[in-house]
A and B are shown apart, each in its own frame.
Chain A
């Protein structure tokens, strides 16, 4: 399946140059008998809906936000495996979380390999947003999707085990990790036989602090949550999308392996929950450590 990872090794187009035709995606199977017509594809959208060209464009646009607005700084990014599958796990915060794009941008520029972000399927249901979300590497968070990415294709997948409970928590609860779901991320990593790489992020809570929740409105609109953010109060309508320029620090913790056989039918729930809780505590400890070192929200 290594050919599936072609986008990572694909040479980047230099800006301004004539856009080269994307190399043929690895879709074709060896055919017998009749020769299949030459692959007529013009885009490089893969089976997950991700397009390396769209990512390239997004990286170019997001670059200034990453380096000038958030001034993202990594610690131990070399702990993320350069080859093979790994499940990146982060703490999730801010009404519109900036952590996902920052991690994806950082890992893709440093490691030159794609990152797929597993997220709530709700994004898919919104016109335009859903399409771009998918082109930029968004994948509906389901165990079978994650398994296919990690095990069959050896990709990097990013997941926030807190789910929507992370970004929907109020500012007074900042950097308090929520429950890590039902430990599904651990079970998926065990089944796929890949390590979990925890990433602790400090600063994301301050990019878009949630002041108040409007659960009824959220329910009426079919949204996972509907927050009133400090950004809205300070910046007005602009604040619904513009985050504050808090300094983002990301620390990659040691990869966690579980010492169990991959592809088992069942993993003991006790072991799964124990590992999940252990990862949560390691991340919580790292967050406290990073917070204690932080001198300023804005300058780090």
Chain B
């Protein structure tokens, strides 16, 4: 019997791409996507189950579908995506419910892959230039998104410690650039003006969306355990990133930049989430050698990711005149229908 995989956050672009990649793997019998909204792309054979954002129905789904692997891609690492209470609900409560489902006495889950973010390392003047997976962060978290991700990771680690039968991997992903997935800094880079803190030119590290999807699949397929950084090799200064992306840098005063920019943020010209403020001063570097040593091959370096992002941004600007493209497909089944119409639900055998 092949593997049965559940992917959370399947309605997001990244989660959807993970689902598509897993679908293509013949060793995987069933791919089940879990999401809160309509999917962004069409799936071949995967089923999408809709759920609330905290995944309170997850334990029922896991019990019914007997999935052996859960790929948790739905953690929010960019606070422009949601208000802070939603971030807490999704990151902490969602993870808690997921772990509760995996932790049940008769649980079929044997592998858990969690996509976390490099945001958990923070960004401070006294930080090391490069964070390895076991380098602790140097200062207490100041923003909600950092706090919630750290808490979610702690829950996952606690689960891993107490459930030795389950292989648990945490992937800390650097700032993602790609055709659709954009980190807070990526969103700013695709605008005509990108804010920077006057007098600072931080070194930034990026990862291409494609590499993130491949890394998630790699870890799932090879049943890797432990924490892994996922980031393109090399770091480059913000000034250079902006030059490659063709965006102009807009200076913010070094003292209280968020206050100065608040009206512009309100108008939607910039996004300056609190976790970005420190990053725009001190940057962040991540050591990628552990995942590379495990056999993963990156397709993009940091600068390669920036360049491919810049070409995406250019083509998007060209396409703008053509109007919005419809989403690939709309999936209208909800949880109950999944149970009623059950290709992936394991039926109790007749005897």
What CA separation (Å) do A73 and B287 show in the bound complex?
A: 40
CB distance from A80 to the nearest CB of B (A): 23
CB distance from B55 to the nearest CB of A (A): 34
Cβ of A47 and Cβ of B285 under 8 Å apart? Answer: yes
Cβ of B285 and Cβ of A144 under 8 Å apart? Answer: no
Chain B residues with CB under 8 A of A42: 240, 243-244
What CA separation (Å) do A272 and B72 show in the bound complex?
A: 46
- Using a CB-CB cutoff of 8 Å, which residues 18-74 of chain A contact chain B? 25, 27-34, 36-43, 45, 47-49
What CA separation (Å) do A31 and B214 show in the bound complex?
A: 13
CB distance from B258 to the nearest CB of A (A): 16
What number of residue pairs across chains A and B have CB atoms under 8 A from each other?
A: 108
Contact of B127 among A32, A38, A40, A140 (CB under 8 A): A140
A124 interface residue, CB < 8 Å from B? yes
B308 interface residue, CB < 8 Å from A? yes
- Using a CB-CB cutoff of 8 Å, which residues 283-309 of chain B contact chain A? 285, 292, 297-304, 306-308
Cβ of A34 and Cβ of B299 under 8 Å apart? Answer: yes
Cβ of A37 and Cβ of B130 under 8 Å apart? Answer: no
Number of interface residues of B (CB under 8 A): 42
Q: Which stretch of A125-133, A200-208, A224-232, A292-300 is in the interface? A: A125-133
B235 interface residue, CB < 8 Å from A? yes
- Using a CB-CB cutoff of 8 Å, which residues 180-233 of chain B contact chain A? 197-201, 203, 210, 233
Chain A residues with CB under 8 A of B301: 27-29, 36, 39
A29 with B297, Cβ < 8 A, contacts A40-B306, A45-B240 known: yes
A212 interface residue, CB < 8 Å from B? no
Cβ of B197 and Cβ of A49 under 8 Å apart? Answer: no
Cβ of B297 and Cβ of A125 under 8 Å apart? Answer: no
Cβ of B237 and Cβ of A148 under 8 Å apart? Answer: no
Nearest A-chain residue to B135, judged by Cβ? A144
Cβ of A127 and Cβ of B198 under 8 Å apart? Answer: yes
Nearest A-chain residue to B306, judged by Cβ? A40
Chain A residues with CB under 8 A of B235: 47
What CA separation (Å) do A122 and B124 show in the bound complex?
A: 11
Chain B residues with CB under 8 A of A122: 125
A40 with B244, Cβ < 8 A, contacts A125-B125, A131-B199, A140-B126 known: yes
Cβ of B240 and Cβ of A43 under 8 Å apart? Answer: yes
* Per-residue A-contact encoding for B17-46, CB less than 8 Å = 1, 0 else: 000000000000000000000000000000
Cβ of B128 and Cβ of A31 under 8 Å apart? Answer: no
Cβ of A49 and Cβ of B240 under 8 Å apart? Answer: no
What CA separation (Å) do A164 and B198 show in the bound complex?
A: 27
Cβ of B244 and Cβ of A130 under 8 Å apart? Answer: no
Chain A residues with CB under 8 A of B132: 144
Chain B residues with CB under 8 A of A182: none
Most chain A CB atoms below 10 A, which of B127, B297, B303, B310: B303
Q: List 5 A-B contacts (CB under 8 A).
A: A38-B307, A40-B307, A121-B125, A128-B199, A140-B129
User: Which residues of A come within 8 Å of B, CB atoms?
Assistant: 25, 27-34, 36-43, 45, 47-49, 121-122, 124-131, 139-140, 142, 144-145, 148
10 smallest A-B Cβ distances: which pairs? Answer: A127-B199, A27-B234, A128-B199, A36-B304, A121-B126, A124-B125, A40-B307, A127-B254, A144-B128, A121-B125
